[in-house]
């Protein structure tokens, strides 16, 4: 079969979206991502134990990659430039916590200048946003997504391992003041933990004119404690919201959109539901990921990674890197297998892959 010239896979999907992880480190310990706190351990040990076979991995402190293994800004810039020449239009900087990467605004300024990059976004837990906000905007950041799973101070702390609700809410307000609109906010919904807050979080979206996304819990946690019983299906989230609010479906802004979106009939803001577990959207996935240590992942649930850092550091030419990237993307998996007997949770977790 002849390969098209841009970044396409063998299932006819063309890649437009590259997620770049800037670090595997994080200042939070979210229980669906890096559960390390005693509270996280208690929750997982608690009421779902009877359902679990085998037992979840013991929660232990994360081991960060040494700095020498993390891509430099020059390496990231080079890779993004080559990817943009192949049709990547959207870059999302993520992590770990990307705001822990020193001088992030310098990288943003470099990436904002690359021809073909129409959308440059950042996903953050928001705790350090106030310190960097002005510099990021000045550097050319287009958009920002915050993670916010709870509006209750104690529950927020239980979920993230950090007493940071005030800082995150202030960060969201600041991003809006600075015009990084529409400001997106993501909540991972976990049964028995924050599902009682769904309506309250939607109310925040309406009050503050936010694009709020409810995300199903995926098996990418370092504690390997994910269970399907902990997933609140997107349909259930929607039914709960429809019972409380008058919602109008919003038209998809692009065919690869992962969220089903709804606006409030009587107000501002919108909500979206991202249901990768119960309603997979693999058929129109146009994403690839570059991990902080320079590996390409063609799916969140890939069991194989492709080493770009090694090639770059071995001195390969732009033409060779481009050819490698094309060949890798051509082999992108058709879909994930969550919920199927043969499903294997990837070794690396969301914080390492770059969500």
Contacting residues toward ligand SAM, per CB under 6 A? 26, 32-33, 94-95, 97, 123-125, 147, 186, 188, 215, 217-218, 220-221, 350-351, 355
> Distance between CA 335 and CA 283 in Å, rounded?
7
Q: Closest CB to ligand SAM among 95 and 346?
A: 95
Side-chain half-sphere of 168: how many Cα atoms within 13 Å? 26
Rule CB under 6 A: is residue 216 a binding residue for ligand SF4? no
Rule CB under 6 A: is residue 97 a binding residue for ligand SF4? yes
Q: Which does 37 bind (CB under 5 to 8 A by kind): ligand SAM, ligand SF4, none?
A: none
Q: Closest CB to ligand SF4 among 145 and 211?
A: 145
Strand partners, 290: 20, 296
Rule CB under 6 A: is residue 194 a binding residue for ligand SF4? no
Q: Closest CB to ligand SF4 among 34 and 237?
A: 34
Contact yes or no for 186/3 (Cβ under 8 A): no
- Shortest Å distance, C-beta 113 to ligand SF4: 27
Q: Which does 164 bind (CB under 5 to 8 A by kind): ligand SF4, ligand SAM, none?
A: none
Q: Which residues contact 28 (CB under 8 A, 6 or more apart)?
A: 34, 97, 125, 127, 160, 161, 162, 164
The interface region with ligand SF4, picked from 21-29, 45-53, 105-113, 325-333 by CB under 6 A, is 21-29
- Give the residue, chosen from 8, 9, 28, 122, that forms a contact with ligand SF4 under the rule CB under 6 A: 28
Q: Closest CB to ligand SF4 among 136 and 247?
A: 136
Q: Which two tokens stand for residue 241?
A: 């919201």
Q: Which does 171 bind (CB under 5 to 8 A by kind): ligand SF4, ligand SAM, none?
A: none
Rule CB under 6 A: is residue 95 a binding residue for ligand SF4? yes
Edge-to-edge strand ranges of the sheet holding 295-297: 247-249, 260-264, 270-274, 211-216, 184-189, 143-147, 119-124, 90-94, 17-21, 287-290, 295-297, 306-307
Residues contacting ligand SF4: total by CB under 6 A: 13
Q: Which residues contact 227 (CB under 8 A, 6 or more apart)?
A: 48, 51, 52
- Shortest Å distance, C-beta 272 to ligand SF4: 18
Give alpha helix (H) positions in the chain.
38-45, 73-85, 104-112, 129-139, 153-160, 165-177, 198-208, 234-244, 308-313, 318-330, 350-353
- Give the residue, chosen from 17, 210, 351, 353, that forms a contact with ligand SF4 under the rule CB under 6 A: 351
Contacts with ligand SF4 by CB under 6 A lie at 26, 28-30, 33-34, 95-97, 125, 147, 350-351
């Amino acid at each position: 079969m002849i390969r098209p010239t841009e970044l396409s896979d063998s299932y006819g999907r063309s890649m437009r979206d590259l997620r770049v992880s800037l670090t595997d480190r994080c200042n939070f310990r979210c229980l669906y991502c890096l559960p390390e706190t005693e509270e996280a351990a208690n929750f997982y040990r608690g009421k779902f134990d009877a359902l679990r076979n085998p037992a979840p991995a013991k929660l232990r402190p994360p081991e960060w990659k040494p700095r020498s293994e993390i891509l430099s800004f020059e390496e990231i810039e080079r890779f993004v430039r080559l990817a943009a020449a192949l049709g990547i239009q959207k870059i999302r900087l993520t992590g770990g916590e990307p705001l822990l990467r020193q001088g992030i605004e310098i990288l943003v300024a470099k990436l904002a200048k690359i021809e073909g990059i129409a959308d440059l976004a950042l996903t953050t837990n928001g705790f350090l946003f106030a310190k960097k906000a002005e510099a990021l905007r000045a550097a050319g950041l287009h958009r920002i997504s915050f993670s916010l799973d709870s509006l209750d101070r104690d529950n927020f702390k239980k979920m993230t391992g950090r007493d940071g609700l005030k800082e995150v809410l202030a960060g969201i307000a600041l991003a809006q003041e600075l015009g990084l609109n529409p400001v997106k906010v993501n909540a991972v919904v976990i049964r028995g933990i924050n599902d009682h807050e769904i309506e309250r979080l939607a109310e925040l979206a309406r009050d503050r004119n936010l694009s709020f996304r409810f995300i199903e819990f995926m098996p990418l946690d370092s504690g390997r404690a994910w269970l399907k019983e902990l997933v609140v299906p997107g349909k259930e989230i929607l039914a709960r919201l429809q019972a409380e609010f008058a919602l109008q479906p919003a038209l998809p802004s692009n065919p690869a959109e992962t969220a089903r979106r709804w606006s409030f009939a009587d107000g501002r803001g919108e909500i979206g539901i991202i249901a990768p577990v119960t309603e997979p959207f693999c058929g129109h996935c146009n994403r690839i990921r570059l991990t902080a240590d320079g590996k390409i992942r063609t799916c969140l649930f890939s069991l194989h990674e492709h080493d770009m850092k090694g090639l770059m550091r071995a001195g390969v030419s732009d033409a060779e890197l481009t050819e490698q990237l094309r060949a890798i993307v051509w082999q992108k998996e058709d879909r994930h297998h969550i919920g199927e007997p043969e499903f294997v949770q990837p070794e690396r977790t969301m914080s390492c892959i770059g969500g």
